[in-house]
Amino acid sequence: MIHPSLIKKQRLIMLSLFVLIVLTIIVSMGLGYSTLSFDRLLPTLFGQGTFKENFVLFSVRLPRIIITLLAGMALALSGSILQGITRNDLADPGIVGINSGAGVAVALFFLFAPINAGSFIYLLPVMAFAGAVLTACLIYFFSYNRKTGLQPVKMVLMGVGFSMALSGVMVVLISSAPREKVDFISKWLAGSIWGADWPFIWALLPWLVILIPFTLYKANRLNLLSLNEPVAIGVGISLNKERIVLLLTAVALAASAVSVTGGIAFVGLMAPHIAKALVGPRNQMFIPVSILTGGWLLVLADTIGRQVADPDGLPAGIVVALIGAPYFIYLLLKK
Amino acid sequence: MKTKAERIPFIYKILAAVLLFIAIFVLAMVLGAADTSIKDVWSALTSSSDGEKLSIIREIRLPREIAAIFVGAALAVSGAIMQGMTRNPLADPGLLGLTAGANAALAVTIAFIPAVNYFGLMVACFIGAAVGAALVFGVSAVKRGGFSPLRIVLAGAAISAFLYAIADGVGITFKISKDVSMWTSGGLVGANWSQLQVIVPFIVVGIIIAMLLSKQLTILSLSEEVAVGLGQKTARIKAVLFVVTVMLAGASVALVGSLTFIGLMIPHIVRAIVGTDYRYTIPMSGLVGATFMMLADTLARTISAPYEAPVAAIVAVLGLPFFLVIVRKGGRSFL
Give pLDDT tens digits for B269-314: 888 888 778 888 888 999 999 998 888 888 887 776 666 777 777 7
The Cα–Cα gap between B93 and A67 comes to: 35
Q: What is the DSSP string of A207-250?
A: HHHHHHHHHHHTHHHHHHHTT-HHHHHHTT--HHHHHHHHHHHH
Helix axes B62-86 and B214-222, enclosed angle (nearest 10):
40
- Distance in angstroms (rounded) separating the CA atoms of residues B245 and A117: 50
Predicted confidence band of residue A290 (pLDDT cuts 50, 70, 90): very high
CA distance B83 to B218: 11
End-to-end CA distance of chain A: 24
- Residues with Cβ within 8 Å of A325's Cβ and at least 6 positions away in sequence, in order, are A266, A270, B158, B159, B161, B162, B165
Task: Report if pTM > 0.80.
Answer: no
**Residues in B 54-93 with any Cβ partner in A closer than 8 A:** 88-91
Q: What is the ipTM of this complex?
A: 0.73
B189: closest CA of chain A, how far (Å): 15
Q: Which of A89, A161, A309 sits opposite B173 (nearest CB)?
A: A309
Q: Which residues in chain A are contacts of B150 at CB distance < 8 A?
A: 89
- For residue B7, pLDDT over 70 is answered with no
Of A90, A179, A317, the CB nearest to B90: A90
Mean pLDDT within A193-222? 83
The span from the CA of A13 to the CA of A275, in Å, is: 10
- B27 in contact with A at a CB cutoff of 8 Å? no
Choose between B165 and B317: higher pLDDT. B165
Torsion of CA A122, A125, A129, A132, to 10 degrees: 150
Could you tell me which residues come within 8 angstroms of residue B250 by beta carbon, excluding any fewer than 6 positions away?
B98, B126, B129, B130, B133, B202
| pLDDT for residue B2 | 47
The enclosing H or E element of A327 equals: helix A316-334
At B102 the three-state DSSP class reads helix
Q: Are the C-beta atoms of B113 and B141 separated by less than 8 Å? A: no
Instruction: Give the single-character DSSP code of B96.
Output: G
d(CA B64, CA B189): 8
Span B63-108, pLDDT tens digits: 888 888 998 899 899 889 888 888 877 777 777 788 888 888 888 8
Residue A296 is predicted with a pLDDT of: 92
